[in-house]
A and B are shown apart, each in its own frame.
Chain A
């Protein structure tokens, strides 16, 4: 997927994205990081067809995202949002089955294929035992996995995740990230996610895109992008970047400078 000079604004006064260009490599894990309000989630929204860009375009397989029909796009690209809502009596199984909506036609569609996809999504996310339960009986980690399972049932080559680890404790955070890596390595999914934790981004990404003030300020492999200087300039935080034998490249935050963010 390519992004060409995308401009976007919520209120037509200040631009959240000020001419963003970049690319997402196929079959890799790409992570977008940056300070609060830098436009990470907005960029993801433009790339997933939820925001219509005011200028420029995001292009997938030679066609601008906003020219796709919603169903057509939903068969190529699935999204796990940061905040999700569903009626509390919704069962896991039914919610995951909504992932098959893009394949529904006037005449119903292929039921067997639907069932296979739902079973696969449930087994990937380790939710088979809970399939009949209503979602409000699940733990936070399980509930997040249900939304991932719904996206997986869409059987798309591309998966977007907006801060998939928020609201989870560190165990479930790592579980989620390991699981995302497995989806990429085993099933070849192209992954784009937004993360807050720099160390997690380094560890689980093939490519990191760094944003600040509605612009991409750096992009590339974690080793090239994450430097002490970069962290100081992007976040205003002093840090030591070190290569450790067990954890690999690692960032240790040591202090802050006076905040000069807009």
Chain B
């Protein structure tokens, strides 16, 4: 079997193992057989608790990871820039800020939250694009503008959050990513928007392949370049926005996962997108499971774990890309 095939097999096996482990470990411990039997029959009390508390959290973690990773792949294709990530260039914090405002103003319209998060993400994406476009997108300028946009939105979100004792827990949930207290309603929202985004991403994979070449090459192969770029960006923002609305702000997933995925399965988006989705799911589930077990009963949010891993990784990528563009 090829390296590509092996990579898929390994990541799927690891993902299954992580799912089972994540369900089984924690303050309530159950055996594997007990877990399966309980899930099927619904009579085991311990398993019922797991079903209500741990399972929604697990599914949300999987989808958040997959969405963020794929969002990164799409942004990198559109911006032809290996450093583009929804968390780094401010799309997530734009989405987060709008969800924060929305949750405070209309706490009952929870199902529509991702939609408004999407609008926030689109606004941030538009800002980054228009501010860094100078007859082309230079990778480093884009990242710098993105970091500035990100800082602005994060700052606004924090000042909003900080306005005194009024800060309620539901508001906090939208900005930090503790996956605790995720309910089946969250799962439903995540599933609907997340699945839609992931399916669309797969359908757009051949466009992503063409966008990876130069605009004029893609155009002369019959691609509507502007339309393709707009649609792919929209799907990327949708995925990042849903993930942020449900899972909170998590940076670097869209940077780390696609980079490693590319070195394992290559740059063809037909395989890169599904592989990144699986790896992203694995990464966030692992981070969340570690976060809630290592220092139990205290929890470390997955977003903090990702920042700790992701920061150094961004430095590594920046150094490499400085090499790449320095001599050309």
User: What residues make up the interface of A, taking CB atoms closer than 8 Å to B?
Assistant: 45, 48-50, 70-75, 77-79, 81, 83-87, 89-90, 94, 98-99, 101-102, 104, 150-151, 154
Q: A81-B214, A85-B214, A86-B212 are in contact. Are A74 and B221 (CB under 8 A)?
A: yes
Interface size on B, residues (CB 8 A): 17
**B206 neighbours in A (Cβ, 8 Å):** 101, 104
By the criterion CB–CB under 8 Å, are A73 and B222 in contact?
A: yes
Closest Cβ of chain B to A104, distance in Å, is 8
* Smallest CB gap from B212: residue in A: A87
**A101 neighbours in B (Cβ, 8 Å):** 206, 210, 221-223
By the criterion CB–CB under 8 Å, are A70 and B223 in contact?
A: yes
Assembly CA distance A163 to B214 (angstroms): 17
Assembly CA distance A259 to B317 (angstroms): 46
**A84 neighbours in B (Cβ, 8 Å):** 213-214, 217
By the criterion CB–CB under 8 Å, are B210 and A98 in contact?
A: yes
Assembly CA distance A71 to B220 (angstroms): 8
**B216 neighbours in A (Cβ, 8 Å):** 45, 48, 50, 79, 81
By the criterion CB–CB under 8 Å, are B222 and A98 in contact?
A: no
* Smallest CB gap from B224: residue in A: A70
By the criterion CB–CB under 8 Å, are A83 and B220 in contact?
A: no
Q: A81-B214, A98-B210 are in contact. Are A75 and B222 (CB under 8 A)?
A: yes
**B267 neighbours in A (Cβ, 8 Å):** 87, 89-90
- Which residue of B212, B217, B222 contacts A71 across the interface (Cβ within 8 Å)? B222
Q: A89-B267, A98-B209, A98-B210 are in contact. Are A78 and B220 (CB under 8 A)?
A: yes
Closest Cβ of chain A to B201, distance in Å, is 17
**A77 neighbours in B (Cβ, 8 Å):** 220
**B223 neighbours in A (Cβ, 8 Å):** 70, 101
- Which residue of A86, A90, A102 contacts B222 across the interface (Cβ within 8 Å)? A102
* Smallest CB gap from A104: residue in B: B206
Task: Report 30 cross-chain contacts, Cβ distance below 8 Å, ordered by A residue.
Answer: A48-B216, A49-B219, A50-B216, A70-B224, A72-B222, A74-B222, A77-B220, A78-B220, A79-B216, A79-B220, A81-B214, A81-B220, A84-B213, A84-B214, A85-B214, A85-B217, A86-B213, A87-B212, A87-B267, A89-B267, A90-B267, A94-B268, A98-B209, A98-B210, A98-B221, A101-B210, A101-B221, A101-B222, A102-B221, A104-B206
Q: Per-residue CB proximity of B194-217 to A under 8 Å, as 1/0?
A: 000000000000100110111011
By the criterion CB–CB under 8 Å, are A70 and B209 in contact?
A: no
Contact of B266 with A by CB under 8 A: yes
**B220 neighbours in A (Cβ, 8 Å):** 48-50, 74, 77-79, 81, 151
Q: A87-B267, A94-B268 are in contact. Are A99 and B221 (CB under 8 A)?
A: yes
Closest Cβ of chain A to B73, distance in Å, is 13
Assembly CA distance A84 to B206 (angstroms): 18
Closest Cβ of chain B to A99, distance in Å, is 7
